[in-house]
Structure 1
């Protein structure tokens, strides 16, 4: 995702632009999830068919929102069904770039900048060029960049292509509670760290800081007597929280001034984060070097020198978590 608010918006709290290409990739003509009306789905959004090999997920490892999609694709076993393009961690004002690939060109789409796929779809596209994005490989057009729906639909709409032992990321018996938990995680934690980092005044920063750590304290308490957010099994809620926790000590603690304490100083959350990191599908999607390069190099308003810190020591992620 590209964050368009800047540190110099004096006096203003950070507001995320949540307007995305609303298209959906569905197995049928109508959504499969009966609670979708409550989730805020656009009933008039264009519909594309589920078709193995037709689409490419473009998702930078540096970005927490894109990281979600990489994890869900892996957990569900969709690697041979939807290909994966990986832009590099840094970008200019135009677009994420495929500078990790030979000659700086995505080997499937044949483009240097993700912006090209957006312009193929909307020639005068004026919003941010964001990841994750799903691109149709033949036309090289972006289908959707609506990140909450991308992972939702990978679960509900691509079920016929999941691996046999894929986890139930949206268990029906706790889905309504899970929606409430995910809403709080998004507004107060996923977006809360950005609210701190891009605060335009001391007042807005302090208000954001209090909200963030109130939510982290709530999560610390919730995870003290349960292994995962919804109980004994990994769900979409865990995926959504994990990508922020993985970036907390390397980036958000210092770069975004979320520094009441480190993640590693909150016993339940730190054990929970390590538990997920050591679970297949999670840790191998995390590249701490790319994460630090992205935030410290791209956010020039916050870090004008572009210096990327050497620390912190990240070896603790592989230590026993004791939550089996």
Structure 2
């Protein structure tokens, strides 16, 4: 999620909160990320080493939430410690305002941009999360969120917990990649194309693509429990992080309002199934999610007023998806309790 650049053009902006909507234009995500990889063989100069790196996230951000969920499912909490930035930021950077004195206790910095500038002085693109920082140098390694979670599955295997699931199994990778591409284009990024559209035409085109894809996913998930195969995979993680924000943010704030998620029976049950699965709902902070979108996107919500709703208790109702079969963790086991210091507020 971009913190310091104009998300429609990538150009620097002097607006206090950043600028997200270009009048008359279509939202285009700046996808120029730091492509360095952390691998078992260290081919990019950054070998997998437990404790060497720090995963920087915001619980508000759907792209960062992917990494939070995968890290927990695989049991990488000790090998890859996590820093949580606050839910809001200004046009320059995410900040560590949740920590004492507003400074990350390990990296010793107040703003994530400091880690970016340490490696790339004058870095001009978005200061985004998730990012992985090399603690030994204080320099950002990567913010390339799409391969980041794949690498956690494939490159960090020596540090996975016993019973960790296969989220990117070899036999299903082609199908997972295909589903991920469609979901990204029409759903993950599609909600932003609705919300940041600068014209009626751009908005309505994105709106049609979004709900056509949600309808197709509903048809698929009406007959199978998970998107690919009979276990949770990377594809489910990527769809979940958008669905869990849908009613709280995207339905109203981004005008994705044909229906609420709670009014789409199959997807609502599917999302609740995942939410109740250890590693998913126990990483979600609805307060952070709402604070970010409604307070930061001032060109959409000028007052910064954060809605009191929606009622979240529905997330805890029975979903009935067990009847479709499937094994959430395949031959593995659920992750253990959330580590101290990483808990999120429970739904009342």
Give yes or no for TM over 0.5.
Answer: yes
Distance 2:318 2:185 in 1: 30
Q: Which runs of 5+ in 1 are unaligned?
A: 31-45
Where does 1:1-324 land on structure 2 (aligned, <5 Å)?
1-2=1-2, 4-5=7-8, 6-28=19-41, 46-324=44-322
* Residue 11 of structure 1, CA deviation: 2.0
Ranges of 4+ aligned residues in structure 1 off by more than 3 Å: none
Deviations 1:91-116 (A, max 9, x none): 00110000011111111111111011
Deviations 1:5-48 (A, max 9, x none): 24541221110000011100010156xxxxxxxxxxxxxxx341
TM-score by length of structure 1 reads 0.94
Distance 1:213 1:47 in 2: 43
Distance 1:284 1:196 in 2: 28
Distance 1:225 1:172 in 2: 23
Distance 1:122 1:7 in 2: 24
| Preserved CA contact (<8 Å) 2:7 2:27 | no
Deviations 1:274-312 (A, max 9, x none): 010010011111000110000000001100110000111
Distance 1:10 1:60 in 2: 28
Equivalent in the alignment of 1:42: none
TM-score by length of structure 2 reads 0.87
Distance 2:212 2:45 in 1: 39
Deviations 1:239-264 (A, max 9, x none): 00000000000000000000000001
Distance 1:314 1:214 in 2: 26
| Partner-residue secondary structure (3-state), 2:38 | strand
Q: Which runs of 5+ in 2 are unaligned?
A: 9-18, 323-348
* Residue 149 of structure 1, CA deviation: 1.1
How many residue pairs get aligned? The number is 309
| Preserved CA contact (<8 Å) 1:7 1:200 | no
RMSD in angstroms over aligned alpha carbons? Answer: 1.0
Distance 1:285 1:102 in 2: 22
| Partner-residue secondary structure (3-state), 1:241 | helix
